[in-house]
Each structure stands twice: as structure tokens, then as C-alpha cells.
A and B are shown apart, each in its own frame.
Chain A
Amino acid sequence: MMAEYSAFSLLANALKGNKDWKPAWRKPDPKASYDVIIIGGGGHGLATAYYLAKEHGITNVAVLEKGWLGSGNVGRNTTAVRSNYLLPANTRFYEHSMKLWEGLSHELNYNVMFSQRGCLNLAHTPAQFDDYARRGNAMRHLGVDAELMTPAQIKRLIPALDISSDARFPVVGGLMQRRAGTARHDAVAWGYARGADRRGVDIIENCEVTGFLRDGDRVTGVTTSRGDIRAKKVAVAVAGSTGRVMQLAGIETMPIESHVLQAFVTESLKPFIDTVVTFGMGHFYMSQSDKGGLVYGGDIDGYNSYAQRGNLPIVDEVMSEMLALFPGLARVRMLRSWGGVCDMSMDGSPIITTGPLPGMYLNCGWCYGGFKATPASGWTFAWTIAKDEPHDFNAPFTLDRFHRGLVIDDKGQGANPRLH
């Protein structure tokens, strides 16, 4: 298959006034039935559809999206991609994701602008630095890159950072993953959507699932705002809406709480920071977008919410932490802020599994970390749907692990979602 986007096609279309570009995906009406329905047209749902078609040859697939494509968390995150986890189950999964990211633009013939600019976790106490050394060693043990940095090295990398000994929280070192970075989040959704569409997947927007068709326990399809659709397999990848969708299937409780996470972008600056940096004495991280805006992220608001907007205390906290690191940014103005609904699981790790009902497949529990997981989430979920069993990469991420004492709690916070 010739690449649809190339230097040649760009030039040819430019000469013809850019009138002949094909839409990146069709707008089909839903058929009466499919082999697989994926509920949720975000990054994970679209990636799942793409890998179902590409890796497993299953193309009679519909992706149902209640709004427009990419209107949820895939367009609301802060675009960081990393695989710097402590526990082996997480490290293996996220490193698989990292490897897929490294080839993604080529694979999709779509520039997702994946930029391996590094991700640096700052340590502010010797104990925290020791903890980072432990995590770095755990990563290297599994073949993931990690390096400890001294304050002098950090200052060379990020000149604007206050590393003085009279800073509010002096920097004593950091843990760097050079292969981490950022990607253009909308392009990830669009690239996967086009890749899936060109392989025959129907992407159906403005199609809200309102219930499940059942034959006894078995799920046999969905009722939607655009009519009933039957399917042999129904996969749920709806992130923050997991609780609501599972309740439509009669499953009242889940090991999930939905919380709102805010993010912020400043006015555009000249090149200021060319890595992702995280604060160690609170929850704050920052990178600079290609347009020049500084992208800030912090903690979730900390109470159940489906509102996609947060409250002022977190705004205040994020800005305070930003200023503790970068006093020089005090007069940079915020341009935009927004909220996304995170599906916070009880151990901070995701769920990618068959079930819980026959004919159903579930992908949820992404907490803050769904964006970087997008390729591996889709890849392993497609495997699980196609083969009716998990791949080694997602086998630990079961739904029943909570009741079986097999939690994967990277931060060791216990069953308290607001702390993950």
C-alpha cells in the first residue's frame, strides 16, 4: 500500500489547491451487526480498532463515539509519554507502549510528533533520591533506560530551574528517562482513526450507547442513540465513563472512582524548556508545546466528579508548585485551563481483560496515565478481544485482582484513588 501522506502527495496536492485530499475517515451509518463493537472513540478505542484490523485481520468492527472523535481524554491530557515505573508488570507494559510510540508515526503514516525529549523527576531530599535510584535500577533491570542526574547536570539541562540551596525545596538530584517525551495528542487519535478506517473499520460519531442487548448473561450488542447494533463481541474503552457504562450492563460497583484532573497552558514563549520535568515535593509537571505554550499538570481535584471542570484550590496549588521550581515564570499568563475525567482505579494500575460478562471486554482504570499507554492499551486489548485471553503484557491487569489480593500498586498508596 502506497503511503497516503508523503512529500510527493503534499506537493501534488499543493499544486492542485489542496482540493483532492480524502477525508481521514468516513462517516458511515451503523450497520445492523458487526463482529466487534468498541464503545468509546478515544485514543484507546481507536488504537484497539486499528490493531484488531492490522494484527488480527478483524475488520468488521465499529467504534461508537457519543460525541466527536477525540473529544474526551485523548484531547485533554498533557501529552507526556514515559515508562519509568517501579513494578515489573507496569514497566513491561509501558515499555511495550514506548516501543510502539517509537515507530508510531512511520507505522501510521501520520506524524504524531513523538518527541523523545526526556522526562526528569526531581528529588528534593536524599531519601527521595535513594528511592529514585531504586526505581532507576528496577527500570534498567528490565532493559528500560534510566539515569541519575546531579543538580549541576540538571542546571545545564534546564537553566531556568531554581536549584539554589535557598529554594523552597532545594533540588538534590533527579531521575531522567531520555527516551520519554511528548506527542501531539490529537494526531494520535486522528492517525489511529485513519489507519482503522482505511482497513474497513466503521467509526460512528454522535452515537451514544444507551444500553446493552442481552441473551441471558451474554452481551449480544448495544442500544444506541442511532438504533440497535448487534455484535459477537462488545468492548468497553470509555475511561472516565466506565462506571456509567457498566451500570447500563447491570454491574453496579467497580473498583473505580471518576475524578477530575485539570491542565493548564500559558501564552506562547520562546524555547524555554526542552524536556518534561516533574516536581518531587508535590504533584506538578511541565513541558513546552511546539507552539511555545508551557503545559502544566498537577493533582486531581480529589473528589468524585464527572464535570470535566475543576475548582480553584488545585489551580492555586499547581501554580505555587510551578513557582517553587521556576520563580522566573511568575508573570507568564495562563491562556487556557480545562478538566478531564479520570477513571481512578483502586491500585493506580489499569484493567484490560475479558468479561466481566460473557461477550464483553473491558479496558479501564487509567488514572492519570492513559495517554502514554494508548498504543499498548490498544495492542493488548485487540489481542485480548481477538484471542479471548490476555497477552502476557496485560495478564496481570485483571478486574478480579482486587478481590484476590493481587493489586499492582506502584505508589503503595492503598485503595485510595485520590492519592494515586
Chain B
Amino acid sequence: MLITCPYCGPRDVIEFTYQGDGNRERPDPASQNFEAWNAYVYDRLNPAGDHNEIWQHSGGCRTHLRVVRNTLTHEISSVAFVRGDHASTARRKAEDKA
């Protein structure tokens, strides 16, 4: 299985660390909604087919990646930076400081 890191190009899966299901949404750290926390920690979609998941290129550039991979064929259809999810917020904060 090869994962194409947007920085480093196609690399063997052995360079990456699986960080699991990327569909889960972490509740606000201040949240006291126990059901939401329980669901975040324990419940999984576990689909047979395309799976949205997080990998880290731990043996390379160490970037966290959002990967869509088919769990029936192991075929990877997209790889993107996780931080892209929050890029606009991150940029905004940097501008605030400046």
C-alpha cells in the first residue's frame, strides 16, 4: 500500500502511522455532554468501502493527513493535509498576531 504524501510523494505505508477514523468530531473541551464524549471515544462508522481516516507521515515529514481509502480494496482515492481543514482559522490567528 502506497500513500502519496502531498509533500514527499508516494511512500510505502510503513512510513505512516494510522490514527484512525477521521469522521469523529471531538466535542468542545469544555463540553460536559457525556454522550457526545462517549460517542467520540468509542463509536465508529467502520464502513465497508470508502473510509475517511487520519494518517501521520511519522517516518517522513510528520504531517497529519486526511486520507480516503477503500476498506474493501485498500485503494486510496484522496490525500490532503488535515491542517487544511482549519487553514483559514490558523491564518486568521496569525494575522491577528501581526
Which residues of A come within 8 Å of B, CB atoms? 241, 243-244, 252-258, 302-307, 311, 313, 346, 402-403, 415-416, 418
8 Å CB contact of B20 from A241, A256, A306, A416: A416
Query: Can you pick out 28 interface pairs between chain A and chain B where the beta carbons lie within 8 Å of each other?
Result: A243-B44, A243-B46, A243-B47, A243-B48, A253-B39, A253-B43, A253-B44, A254-B46, A255-B42, A255-B44, A256-B46, A257-B44, A258-B48, A303-B18, A303-B53, A305-B71, A305-B74, A306-B48, A306-B71, A307-B72, A311-B1, A311-B13, A311-B74, A313-B14, A346-B41, A403-B42, A418-B18, A418-B20
Distance A144 CA – B48 CA, assembled complex (angstroms): 39
Contact residues of A: prevailing secondary structure: mixed
Q: Which of B31-58 contact A (CB under 8 A)?
A: 35, 38-39, 41-48, 51, 53
B73 touches A (CB below 8 Å): yes
Contact B18 A244 (CB under 8 A): no
Distance A217 CA – B73 CA, assembled complex (angstroms): 34
Distance A253 CA – B25 CA, assembled complex (angstroms): 13
Residues of A within 8 A of B48 (CB): 241, 243-244, 258, 306
Contact B71 A256 (CB under 8 A): no
Q: Which of B59-85 contact A (CB under 8 A)?
A: 69, 71-74
Distance A103 CA – B14 CA, assembled complex (angstroms): 44
Number of A-B residue pairs having CB atoms within 8 Å of each other in the complex: 65
Contact B42 A402 (CB under 8 A): yes
Distance A418 CA – B14 CA, assembled complex (angstroms): 15
Distance A258 CA – B46 CA, assembled complex (angstroms): 7
Q: A302-B18, A303-B53 are in contact. List 13 more A-B contacts (CB 8 A).
A: A243-B44, A253-B46, A255-B44, A257-B21, A258-B71, A304-B21, A304-B51, A304-B53, A305-B74, A313-B13, A313-B14, A346-B42, A403-B35
Residues of B within 8 A of A243 (CB): 44-48
Distance A92 CA – B41 CA, assembled complex (angstroms): 28
- Minimum Cβ distance to chain A for residue B19 (Å): 9
Distance A305 CA – B71 CA, assembled complex (angstroms): 4
Distance A68 CA – B80 CA, assembled complex (angstroms): 41
Distance A304 CA – B53 CA, assembled complex (angstroms): 9
- Minimum Cβ distance to chain A for residue B36 (Å): 11
Residues of A within 8 A of B43 (CB): 253-255
Residues of B within 8 A of A304 (CB): 21, 46, 51, 53, 71
- Minimum Cβ distance to chain B for residue A293 (Å): 27
| Among B14, B39, B44, B47: residue with most chain A CB under 10 A | B44
Q: Which of B1-41 contact A (CB under 8 A)?
A: 1, 12-14, 18, 20-21, 35, 38-39, 41
Residues of A within 8 A of B21 (CB): 257, 304
Distance A311 CA – B14 CA, assembled complex (angstroms): 10
Cβ-closest chain B residue relative to A302: B18
Distance A3 CA – B35 CA, assembled complex (angstroms): 54
- Minimum Cβ distance to chain A for residue B87 (Å): 26
Distance A313 CA – B15 CA, assembled complex (angstroms): 10
- Minimum Cβ distance to chain A for residue B44 (Å): 5
